[in-house]
Structure 1
Amino acid sequence: MRLTFRCLPGFEDILPRPVPARTGLPDWLKAMPSTTVSETLGGIEVRTLKHCPPLLDAFSTGVLLPLAADLTVKEGELGWDWEAPRVPGLRHTRSPIGLHVPEQAAGAPLQADENRFVVKFTNFWALEVPEGWSVLFTHPLNREDLPFRTLAGIVDCDRFSDGFVHFPAIWADPDFEGVLPKGTPVAQAIPVKREAIEIVTETMDAARLDAHRTLEDGLSEDPGLYRKSFRVGPA
């Protein structure tokens, strides 16, 4: 599948590029050992998250959209310093982040106290996808280390390919201070095909039950069975 990202003239040399999610794995995951000793289970060796293919595939699916510029956070204030061009004749922001007023989230469980507020990450990349496809924009999956939580939304980017999709987010860590670097992933874009979903529920018959038992036994005996036998194609 081809995803085409376009920026305004003059921005091409200052913006970080969207990247395949598989190339943007967090440093803490890379540093995590494959196995560790569990004191909870009496000192036996256990496998870590690195042995969970569904979790790793979630990390690796789609595209990561980056923060446009370094964001400085100090004493509850957000600041930045970058020179973004103005394109004549267009009404567009040059700020990498903005705020939503509290009234826009009234009635939603998004602001637990006065220290949690709603921001909007500015996206300077318009996205075009093939006809019949939409895009799920969500918080970078399994990235609880980030001080914000991007809200999820779906956009028909085959029809809205000339517009910018910006990312509202809850600033969830009031104690965070420092610099959120340019290029930090602020959203994960996952293409989804627009089609009707048919839901069928049924009980396993004898054949399916035997297959289920065989699969469970195989996964217990060979931790890599899922990856070797059931993955089809790249994430």
Structure 2
Amino acid sequence: MRMIFRCDPALSDHLPRPIPARSALPDWLRAMPAKAHSEIHGREIRTVKQCPPFIDAMAYGALILLPCDIIVDRGAFSWDWNIPEPSTSGHPRAPLSFHVPAQFPDAPFAKDGQAAIKFNSFWTVELEPGWSLFATHPVNRDDLPFRLISGLVDADRFHDGGINFPAIWTASDFSGVLKKGTPVAQCFAVPREAPQLVFESFDEAHKQAYTKTVTEVLATPGVYRKRFRARRGRLTTE
């Protein structure tokens, strides 16, 4: 699977490239201890830092990065980004634009008539035939002061225009700088063919396997990681 990112040639030296999500795990996760004391259990227990599904979800796919510093003052956004004029007609220059509240009336993420911000895309994305691009909020990143609205784009067909990323700004009292390089979206290539859903009851063999597996997982740390977790190829860049 190849994810091909393209940008306007006039901007190629001014844009942070999308990066493998594995290479940008947040500082709070790196600093988290592997074990912590639980008052309820009365002993040390493993933290989510030792939970492979938690980590693998955060490390999967590619991250789209904010192209410049954004100054935020309690809902007002500004920037000072001196870039060349794009050589492509109709190409954005501003890192942000907006969706008016009338575009998402009564949606559960609507906030008191507040507009949604839109992280403008400076990269097009092309996928292989039959694959779509799922873009969502960076996984488990509730520390970010916004919440991306997820979307699915058939990027094997739509790949000559930028894919923008709308978000709700959640930190109404935030004043400061949203730094260049902040991850704004996490993107996965997903097959477009719908799965067939099959439902069955356990037969005797599956009942025994369930009991054996659950018993081992509860009794011994690291069973999933050592026996079931698949090796993952790392995203590479060209």
TM-score between the two structures when normalised by the length of structure 1: 0.94
What letter corresponds to residue 49 of structure 1 in structure 2? V
In 2, distance between residues paired with 1:15 and 1:199?
42
CA distance in 1, matches of 2:50, 2:32: 11
Q: How does 1:96-115 map to 2 (within 5 A)?
A: 96-114=95-113
1:175-200: CA deviation from partner (whole Å, max 9, x where unpaired)? 11111111100000010011131111
Equivalence for 2:179: 181
Q: CA deviation at 1:74?
A: 1.3
* Structure 2 counterpart of 1:26: 26
Which residue of 1 is the match for residue 37 of structure 2?
37
Matches of 1:40 and 1:113 in 2, distance apart?
Answer: 39
Q: Secondary structure at the match of 1:22?
A: helix
Amino acid at match of 1:112: K
State yes or no: 1:138 paired with 2:150: no
Measure, in 1, the Cα distance between the counterparts of 2:100 and 2:197: 40
Cα offset, 1:89, TM superposition: 5.5
Structure 1 unaligned runs (5+)? none
Aligned residue for 1:78, secondary structure, equals strand
Q: Counterparts of 2:156 and 2:123 in 1: how far apart (Å)? A: 14
Moved more, 78-87 or 176-185: 78-87
> Once the two structures are superposed, what CA deviation does each residue of 1:203-232 show, in whole Å capped at 9, x if it has no partner?
111110111111112212332121221122
What's the secondary structure of 1:219's corresponding residue?
helix
CA 1:50 to 1:88, structure 2 compared with 1: closer, same or farther past 3 Å? closer
Instruction: Specify which of 211, 228, 233 is matched with residue 231 of structure 2.
Output: 233
Going from structure 1 to structure 2, the CA distance change for 1:224 and 1:41 (only over 3 Å counts) comes to closer
Q: 1:55 to 1:212 in 2, by over 3 A?
A: same
- 1:126 is aligned to 124
The two structures have a TM-score, normalised by structure 2, of 0.93
**Whole-Å separation in 1 of the counterparts to 2:87 and 2:41:** 64
Alignment correspondent of 1:150? 148
* Mapped contact 1:37–1:46 kept (Cα < 8 A): yes
What is the root-mean-square deviation in Å for CA atoms of aligned residues? 1.4
Counterparts of 2:188 and 2:63 in 1: how far apart (Å)? 9
Residue 7 of structure 2 aligns to which amino acid in structure 1? C
Q: 2:236 aligns to what?
A: none
Number of corresponding residues:
233
- The whole-number CA distance in structure 2 between the counterparts of 1:143 and 1:183 is 15
Structure 2 unaligned blocks of 5 or more:
234-238
Q: Could you say if the C-alpha distance between residues 88 and 56 of structure 1 is closer, same or farther in structure 2, counting changes exceeding 3 Å?
A: closer
Per-residue deviation at 1:123?
Answer: 1.3
Alpha-carbon distance in 2 for matches of 1:37, 1:232: 30
Query: Aligned partners of 1:40, 1:175: CA distance in 2, in Å?
Result: 35
CA contact (8 A) 1:100 1:120 kept: yes
Distance 2:64 2:88 in 1: 26
CA contact under 8 A between 2:34 and 2:46: conserved in structure 1? yes
Offset at residue 144 of structure 1 (A): 0.4
Q: 1:204 aligns with which of 202, 205, 214?
A: 202
